[in-house]
Amino acid sequence: MWIITFFTMIVGLSFFYYQCKKEEEYIILKLIGYYFLGAFLFRFNKIPIPIGFLIFLVYFRPVTNKVAKTRSAYLGLVLLIIGIISPVLSNYYFERPVEVVASSSNLYKLYVKEDYKKIQEKIGYPRSLKLEDFNVNYEKDGTIRDLRYNLVGYLENDMILYRVNLLPDKQVYSITARRVDQWAQYGRLVLADTFFQAIE
């Protein structure tokens, strides 16, 4: 992401520079300064405030090369906003529920190991997946009322908690993911592969 931001900044400032009247001294440094002023951020109680751009609006009234300097400040603001929004959108996309078709909604016909492999494939094969809180409720004939469990593992460098919930009426597993800093019981949990091999 930072490479795209850096490339956009260079291209934008270069374009603004070629629109300038070159007789102004240190114009390229001034454009860079206006860019960083527009991109300056202050967080108050985790709320991002574009304080640099507000300072630009209140105190700065460029005369020479006004358009280029103003656009440089706006470019800084736009890239700042993109930098704030993109992680939020990325997290939203990552944490959205995904679904995997279950082999059955009847416990006696359910291939849990096969279903687990499909879930693994869907969530991207995290490392060292461990299982926690496997719960299933079912009728005498095997009809599943409720089946849910948690998976905890590493995807790249992040520890991820996956909540797996079987929706019997749709015969699908609904899986949600959430990044966690740590998991206190992780070392004591059983490997999911071992558990589902035993259940099968």
Question: What mean pLDDT is predicted for residues 10-34?
Answer: 84
Average pLDDT, the chain: 86
Q: What is the pLDDT of residue 1?
A: 60
45-86 per-position pLDDT tens digit: 878 888 888 888 888 888 888 888 888 999 998 988 888 888
Sign for the pseudo-dihedral over CA of 59, 63, 64, 66: positive
Full DSSP string of 114-145: HHHHHHHHHHT--EEEEEEEEEEEE-TT-BEE
Model pTM?
A: 0.66
Q: What is the pLDDT of residue 22?
A: 67
Q: How confident is the model at residue 42 (pLDDT cuts 50, 70, 90)?
A: confident
What 3-state class would DSSP assign to 17? Answer: helix
Q: What is the pLDDT of residue 144?
A: 92
Which of the residue ranges 13-17, 41-45, 168-172 has the most confident prediction, judged by mean pLDDT? 168-172
Q: What is the pLDDT of residue 140?
A: 93
Greater confidence, 182 or 177?
A: 177
Q: What is the pLDDT of residue 124?
A: 82
108-146 per-position pLDDT tens digit: 998 988 999 999 888 887 878 889 899 999 999 999 999
> Any idea which of 29-43, 51-65, 180-194 has the lowest mean pLDDT?
180-194
